[in-house]
Structure 1
Amino acid sequence: MPNNRSLLKSSLANKSVVDRVIERITGAIISGELKPGDRIPTEVELCESFQVGRNSIREAIKVLESFGVVYIKRSEGTFVSSSFNHRMLDPMLYGLILEKDSVEAIIELRKVFDIGIMYVVIQKAKKEDIQYLYHELERLEAEVMSTNADAKRVLNQDIRFHAAVAFCTHNELIQNTADYIDRLTIPSRIQTMEKILGSDERIRFIELHRQIVDMVKVKDSLQIGKTIEDHYMFWKQE
């Protein structure tokens, strides 16, 4: 294993000591300087590298551990995590929540993500995946067209439908990221669902979802942009 002490040296920029340590360690992981399973330098080595006290180093490691980026083996040291942990996406989630004009930003983010997902789904979806999508679509239609339709139940099924679409990528990272983005959209989408159920647009709402599944079935990637844009027609009016 390479000597990791030198790779953690960095200039003291205009950030807190804790933030600089976090950024440098995560940067080393992203660049491949630190690999999954690698032991990171000890507290003493990090203190020497950053010329800071142990309290700052411990706080940085505590933050990284809380987000699942590293894990601690007592008496052995601190290691880079070797597998995905949902907590790794929490910083992104919090950042989006706090973003100014977050509703518009979240809608744009999800639209871009949905378009990207569709390209992957069209390439990778199997016959059984398409059957799965039609099944979830039927459940969504049943909820929407019910005489006692409830906005929360419709939203829950809509979430399941889009989770099914993400599942068809057969990419766990995409699925987990899609789940996080989906969670951010819930407050504005519940209002949209109430509006749809109180109007004569229920059939149109279902047809927009059917377009997605039909597009996957025939593998028509040329229609992705328009289909996703149409899919947002109700949400954009909120």
Structure 2
Amino acid sequence: MPETGEKQASVVERVIDGIISSIISGEFQPGDQLPTEPELSRRYNAGRNSVREAVKQLQAYGVVYIRRADGTYVCDSYDQKMLDPMLYNIILHKNDWQDFVTLRAVMDIGTLHLALTLPDVEVCVPELERLVEEMTTEMEGPAPSKERVMELDTRFHALIAQTTHNPQIASVTEYITRLTIPSRLETVERVLEGGLSDIRHFVELHRQMVALIADRQAGRIVEVVKNHYIYWENDIMPGDDPAAKEVPG
């Protein structure tokens, strides 16, 4: 009997989970050809339509690719699409803003801890200092652009992630950055409207992070990241409960 509706959806998910689990366990290695459609059907006790749909979704995620008249293979190189399901999951749950802020804090804290264990982390300091100076010049100029400030801020945090030499950290940081664009634009606009005092404080928070890296102040990481989040305290997303918004510790 053909699978339909909710039943097929659950079977498709089971096939996807099974294939991904086999990749994680090492049964299917990057570059390996997957078993044929009939073999996958038997392995997962699923109809061929469900297997076909599961493979189609994994292909859309960048996990597998299909060679026509040959077969389906596990991707052996990184594809940005692999992170799309995580991105969509965060978007769907964006009303849980405190969870999202905590996720970003955990990423920032963990990234800095890892960076400070590396022997060459100070190499990035001159470029970070240059970005902060550009940010200062832009923000204190006669007609500051919030888009330009955000671009510099994005490059600042991306560079810190890149110092870990870990492409997964850099990619996840990029996704989180993309999701925070509306909030960060509002933050920068509010700082610019606040005048010179707010602008200098905003810049100083970035200088603190540079100093932390330059002097390898691992003991100050949580404090500096917490300070860095102070301007998110008032960034209420639609549907958020303001009482639940706090800067993560």
TM-score normalised over the length of structure 1? 0.89
User: 2: distance between equivalents of 1:215 and 1:174?
Assistant: 19
User: 2: distance between equivalents of 1:155 and 1:103?
Assistant: 20
**What residue is the counterpart of 1:171 in the other structure?**
166
Q: Does 1:218 align with 2:212?
A: no
SS at match of 2:18: helix
Identity of aligned residues (%): 41
Indicate conservation of the 8 Å contact 2:41/2:47, yes or no: yes
**What residue is the counterpart of 1:87 in the other structure?**
81
**What residue is the counterpart of 2:4 in the other structure?**
none
* Residue range with higher mean Cα deviation, 161-170 or 86-95: 161-170
**What residue is the counterpart of 1:182 in the other structure?**
177
- Of 72, 77, 83, the residue aligned with 1:78 is 72
SS at match of 1:78: strand
Amino acid of the residue matched to residue 101 of structure 2? I
User: 2: distance between equivalents of 1:24 and 1:213?
Assistant: 44
SS at match of 1:72: strand
Runs of at least 5 residues in structure 2 that lack an aligned partner in the other structure: 1-6, 236-249
Amino acid of the residue matched to residue 156 of structure 2? F
Distance 1:71 1:14, change over 3 A: closer
**What residue is the counterpart of 1:195 in the other structure?**
190
User: 2: distance between equivalents of 1:183 and 1:95?
Assistant: 14
**What residue is the counterpart of 1:136 in the other structure?**
131
SS at match of 1:57: helix
Amino acid of the residue matched to residue 66 of structure 2? I
Q: Does 1:162 align with 2:157?
A: yes
* Residue range with higher mean Cα deviation, 26-35 or 228-237: 26-35
SS at match of 2:103: helix
Q: Provide Cα deviations, 1:155-199, integer angstroms capped at 9, x if missing partner.
A: 111111111111111211111111011111111111111111111
Q: Does 1:237 align with 2:244?
A: no
Q: Does 1:38 align with 2:32?
A: yes
Runs of at least 5 residues in structure 1 that lack an aligned partner in the other structure: 1-12
The offset of 1:15, in angstroms, is: 6.4
User: 2: distance between equivalents of 1:86 and 1:143?
Assistant: 32
Amino acid of the residue matched to residue 33 of structure 1? E
Indicate conservation of the 8 Å contact 2:18/2:44, yes or no: no
User: 2: distance between equivalents of 1:132 and 1:32?
Assistant: 40
| Aligned residue pairs, count | 226
The offset of 1:74, in angstroms, is: 2.3
Indicate conservation of the 8 Å contact 1:96/1:102, yes or no: no
Indicate conservation of the 8 Å contact 1:115/1:225, yes or no: yes
The offset of 1:237, in angstroms, is: 2.4
Distance 1:50 1:126, change over 3 A: closer
Indicate conservation of the 8 Å contact 1:163/1:179, yes or no: yes
User: 2: distance between equivalents of 1:72 and 1:151?
Assistant: 44
The offset of 1:101, in angstroms, is: 2.1
**What residue is the counterpart of 2:14 in the other structure?**
20
Distance 1:229 1:36, change over 3 A: same
SS at match of 2:143: coil
- Of 88, 96, 99, the residue aligned with 2:90 is 96
Q: Does 1:147 align with 2:155?
A: no
Indicate conservation of the 8 Å contact 1:111/1:228, yes or no: yes
**What residue is the counterpart of 1:7 in the other structure?**
none
Q: Does 1:208 align with 2:205?
A: yes
